[in-house]
Amino acid sequence: MSGLWQLLREWPPGYGGVERVAHELAAAWQAQGRSAVVFSLAARPPAQAGPDPLPVAYRRVALPSAALGRLLLPWPSRRLFRLLTAPEPLHAHLPCPAVLVLALMARLLRPRRAISLHWHSFLEPAPTPAGRLFGAYQWLAERLLPCFSRIITTSPVLQAELISAGASPVAVRVLPCSLPALLEQQAAPIAAAHLAAPPAPGLRLICIGRLDSYKRVDWLIEALAAVRDPAVQLDVVGDGPDRAALERQAAALAPGRVRFHGRVEEATKLALLARTDLLVLAANRCNEAFGIVQLEAMACAVPAVAFEHPRSGMAWVSQLEALPWPGRREALPPLIRRLAADPALLAGARGAAHQRYREQFARAVWLQRLQEAFAG
């Protein structure tokens, strides 16, 4: 596996899935002595000059761009010309219209260049003018899949959807998301403690992510309220435009049972997971295709559940035979009641979650799959 240039909208590292994946790819190449360069359409704003969420040893290049709403359009520049005409393999992260266009331009300028796609998620466009434009982008992206001989995606669910959309079965390869090696090491003693001790009375839930509409933290609060047990508590980690409304909802429906922590450091998040019994990813759109927070929980021997949703792999990530449930909104309160009332069920789910992490998503497994995904 040679060096690699990556192209994405975001500026890694970060809290979002796309930039975290790009960061892990670049860090792995760099650690193996290969060249790793990341081109980003969104340069890191000077106003956010605090420490990066994750350390960086690879080179990052900002492409001069102009913003048109949420769309970023690159300006002609030497950096852009170099990106499009260089012989180095290029790996482009979707969904992003500008990234797709640049990948196609690079293909036209150097037909024999190795250019691959990383398909992170399908979009579920809103019925708005902007949503219709993104719907048109996705339609075009699906039609262009045969132009690329290697397409990396994050789960077998998305792999099947891409093949149904027209991609060659040989081209689509699965490389699940991963955790940084340090985070995996830090999670190990938490997992050991969870596996060694019986569950405490009650049940502690957690959700981690941006407090935005499609994350459906409101559904989780409603499920908590439906479980009329004051010993069932919820920690909400993250910030976003819906936080104030969610705090009002929690105060009205489940007073004293929901704590909002805002955006926290990694150490604080791990400390919260150390006292957590169940992580819930309540997103209801295929935009959420793989929850890295699910991996963080499972590495700590905390079971995680997510809703079943077409064109999303989030339910696949943390599915457990030891904790069957249909993945529907109305089934969440009964699941919470079962876990709160059955410590043996929760203990079994802890062990199964940790075993699934070790077998499917552990760092050593991911490094091997990385080699396989980019081979040939």
The per-residue pLDDT for range 219-253, each reduced to its tens digit, is: 999 999 999 999 999 999 999 999 999 999 999 99
- Please give the pLDDT value at position 70: 79
> What parts of the chain have a pLDDT lower than 50?
47-49
Identify the CATH assignment for 181-361 out of 3.40.50.2000, 3.30.1370.30, 3.30.460.80, 3.40.718.10: 3.40.50.2000
Decide if 4-175 and 181-361 have a common fold: yes
pTM equals 0.93
Second-level CATH architecture of 4-175: 3-Layer(aba) Sandwich (3.40)
Q: What is the CA radius of gyration of the chain?
A: 21
- Please give the pLDDT value at position 47: 47
- Distance from C-alpha of 219 to C-alpha of 212, rounded to nearest angstrom: 12
- Distance from C-alpha of 217 to C-alpha of 224, rounded to nearest angstrom: 11
Q: Tens digits of per-residue pLDDT, 274-300?
A: 999 999 999 999 989 999 999 999 999
Domain ranges in the chain are 4-175, 181-361
Sequential DSSP letters for 116-150: EEEE-------SSHHHHHHHHHHHHHHHTGGG-S-
- Please give the pLDDT value at position 34: 86
User: What's the DSSP call for residue 258?
Assistant: E
- Please give the pLDDT value at position 43: 75
Query: Do residues 12 and 45 make contact, with C-beta atoms less than 8 angstroms apart?
Result: no
Residue from 326, 330, 308 nearest 317 by CA: 308
Angle formed at CA 194 by CA 190 and CA 199, multiple of 5 degrees = 145
Half-sphere exposure of 325 (CA within 13 A, CB side): 26
Sequential DSSP letters for 103-116: HHHHHHH-TTS-EE
- Distance from C-alpha of 265 to C-alpha of 111, rounded to nearest angstrom: 45
C-alpha distance from residue 6 to each of 68, 103, 109, 158, 159 (Å) = 23, 10, 17, 21, 21
Q: What are the φ/ψ torsions at residue 243 (nearest 5 degrees)?
A: -60, -45
Going by C-beta distance under 8 Å and a sequence separation of 6 or more, which residues neighbour residue 6?
22, 25, 26, 36, 37, 38, 39, 90, 91, 92, 93
Query: Do residues 187 and 357 make contact, with C-beta atoms less than 8 angstroms apart?
Result: no
- Distance from C-alpha of 20 to C-alpha of 194, rounded to nearest angstrom: 27
